[in-house]
Structure 1
Amino acid sequence: MRKLFSSKTAVILMISVMVIVGLITGSNWWASKTNTPPFFQRAVNDITGGVSRLIAVPTNAIGTRANSISNLMSTFDENQKLKAKLDGYAQNQVKMQTLEEENKSLKKQLGLKATLTDYETISAVTIARSPTTWQSQLVINKGAKSGLKKGMPVLGDSGLIGRISEVNTVNSKVTLISDTSEDTNRFAITVNGSQGDVNGIITDYDADQKLLIMGQVTESQTINPGDKVVTSGLGGSMPSGILIGKVAKVTTDDYGLSRKIYIQSSSDLSSLSTVLVAKTKVGS
């Protein structure tokens, strides 16, 4: 039995080999005749190509995802750099605008300084101004070390804006002409009207209209919008003739007994980055 089985196996193997050889030979003959690859080569090529495609799909997907992540990271980095540049650009714009405003203010102060020939002036910079006391006071960067004294007039780019009310070694507090507190020392002023001067004091400030108010005027001289307003020098706390502004409008009280004179300040009281202090003997 074993011999017979072995003989059958040998016969089967021989037949199989012969068939394979025949197929190979026939495939090669057919390939040479038709100029196409042999059958077995095509089969191997097809199998290899299929495997390659199976491997390529996840490989390409991983590569594409890696490229996407890399591009995303590059875009993020570029975005951060652009944001930093934009922030720097905005800061430079603010600095430029501030410098332009200071330059305009200083140019006006040069013209104002030329009119104050009787006084030595000191330039100072505003270093503090609280929102709660915005219309009443500010702090400048000059003090007793620079020769400043209490009572000296302080001017903006076009006229009086206040007086020194407190002096420290290297800074001083300035009380503005728009201060409406009860204990403030009122500013004595004169309106140069067409029919003569009208004296009075600044009694109030209209924050909505940004106008100073000279109240309780009982004198009968005609006062018109545009009339010049200067310090009167009365009371000895301020020299006379320093420009304050001009008349904006004139009204009467509810009883018609006195007038209110609204004054437009020659200096912008809301923007006081640089100021001039006049070193007068009156403020000594």
Structure 2
Amino acid sequence: ISENISDFFSNIKNIANLKEENEMLKERISLLEEENRNYLNIIGKTDYLRNEVRLLENTKYNLIEAQVTGKEPGNWFHRITIDKGIEDGVEKGNTVVQGIQIDQNTVIEGIVGRVIDVGDNWAKVVSIVDEDSRIAFKILRTQDGGIISGSINGKITGYLFDDKADVIKGDKLFTSGLGGAFTKDIYIGEIESVISDEKELMKTIEIKPAIDFKKLYKVFIISD
């Protein structure tokens, strides 16, 4: 009987040890998963951070760095909140950009949007994929102009002033500065499709923006 009792308590001790080992393994797995997430996060931001450094080295503008601290519900960053405001030199109407690599050796400013409200240490930004955004653009190749007038599923749409304008897929668009709402000569994106409506005497375009509006970590405000 005493031997059976001894085996019983020995089994209980073994079970306790197994539970402890199991908890330790779970904790170790959790730590490894967290490390993996951190590595993936770093890898995902590598190009972004490289572009940021190269932009700051070569820009002709006075740029204020800001972190994105909030966004409206949804997949796309239509409207965002940033952590810089009046105390940092941010003003309502300032153009907001991000570094975009356009070839192997060149990083330029890509348009994010503009500041629509500002406090002491925060500001709200409306992006170019918001349905209320209106941006005057010019086509780099021909200098034909038009207006961006909305967005569909992260792609922006617009129309040309001249329905006979020479425009093709792949043409690059920049802000024209018309109306003064946005800083001139900021990269918008490139044309993905062209639709001509002869009845309406209108030529519309669909544009792939240079910015990935599902991934906004940091932006730059062009300070006047």
- Decide: shared fold, TM above 0.5: yes
Decide which structure has greater helix share.
Answer: 1
Asked if 1:250 corresponds to 2:198, the answer is: no
* Aligned ranges 1:47-126 → 2 under 5 Å: 58-117=1-60, 119-126=61-68
Tell me the residue number matched to 1:191.
139
In terms of fraction of residues, the more strand-rich structure is 2
Q: Which residue of 1 aligns with 2:106?
A: none
Letter in 2 for 1:168: G
CA-to-aligned-CA distance 1:43-98 (integer Å, 9 cap, x gap): xxxxxxxxxxxxxxx33322222222211111111111111222222222223333
- Which among 176, 180, 186 is matched to residue 127 of structure 2? 176
- With over 3 angstroms needed to count, the CA separation of the structure-2 counterparts of 1:114 and 1:260, relative to structure 1, is farther
Deviations 1:225-274 (A, max 9, x none): 11110000000122211111111121234946322211111121110001
Q: 1:133 to 1:97 in 2, by over 3 A?
A: closer
Show the counterpart of 2:151: 205
Larger mean Cα displacement after TM superposition, 247-256 or 147-156 = 247-256
Q: Judge conservation of contact 2:72–2:78 (CA < 8 Å) in 1.
A: no
Q: Contact 1:204 / 1:215 at 8 angstroms: preserved in 2?
A: no
- TM (norm. structure 1) is 0.69
Query: What is the distance in 2 between the residues matched to 1:75 and 1:157?
Result: 53
CA 1:101/1:142 → structure 2, altered by over 3 Å: closer, same or farther? farther
Contact 1:106 1:274 (8 Å CA) reproduced: no
- SS of the equivalent of 1:131 reads coil
How far apart, CA to CA, are the structure 2 residues paired with 1:227 and 1:216?
13
- Could you tell me whether the CA contact under 8 Å between 2:78 and 2:126 is conserved in 1? yes
* Unpaired segments ≥5 residues, structure 2: 101-109
Q: Per-residue deviation at 1:124? A: 1.1
Distance, in Å, in 2 between the alignment partners of 1:67 and 1:248 is 72
Task: Compare CA radii of gyration and give the structure with the larger one.
Answer: 1
Distance 1:122 1:155 in 2: 10
> 3-state DSSP class of the match of 1:220?
coil
SS in 2 for 1:151: coil
- Quick one: distance in 1 between partners of 2:13 and 2:161? 78
1:10 aligns to what? none
The aligned amino acid for 2:146 is G
Amino acid at match of 1:105: Y
CA-CA distance at 1:139 after TM superposition: 0.8
Residue from 168, 183, 206 that aligns with 1:262: 206
Higher mean C-alpha deviation, range 120-129 or range 245-254:
245-254
Question: How far apart, in 2, do the equivalents of 1:201 and 1:76 lie?
Answer: 66
From the superposition, tell whether residues 171 and 233 of structure 1 become closer, same or farther in structure 2 (CA, over 3 Å): same
Q: CA deviation at 1:133?
A: 8.3
Which of 178, 181, 184 in structure 2 is aligned with 1:240?
Answer: 184
CA contact (8 A) 1:124 1:277 kept: yes
**For the structure 1 residues 64 and 178, does the alpha-carbon distance in structure 2 shift closer, same or farther, using more than 3 Å as the test?**
same
Instruction: Kindly indicate whether the alpha-carbon contact (under 8 Å) linking 2:150 and 2:156 is maintained by their aligned counterparts in 1.
Output: yes
Amino acid at match of 1:139: T
Q: Provide the C-alpha distance between the structure 2 equivalents of 1:200 and 1:167, rounded to a whole number of angstroms.
A: 29
Structure with greater contact order relative to length (CA < 8 Å, sep ≥ 6)? 2
Residue 153 of structure 1: how far off its partner (Å): 1.0
Counterpart residue number, 1:3: none
Specify the SS of the correspondent of 1:248.
strand
- In the alignment, is residue 148 of structure 1 matched against residue 90 of structure 2? yes
TM-score normalised per structure 2: 0.87
Q: 2: CA distance between counterparts of 1:124 and 1:60?
A: 71
- Taking only aligned residues, the RMSD between alpha carbons, in angstroms, comes to 2.1
Amino acid at match of 2:45: E
Identify which of 154, 173, 184 aligns with 1:229. Answer: 173
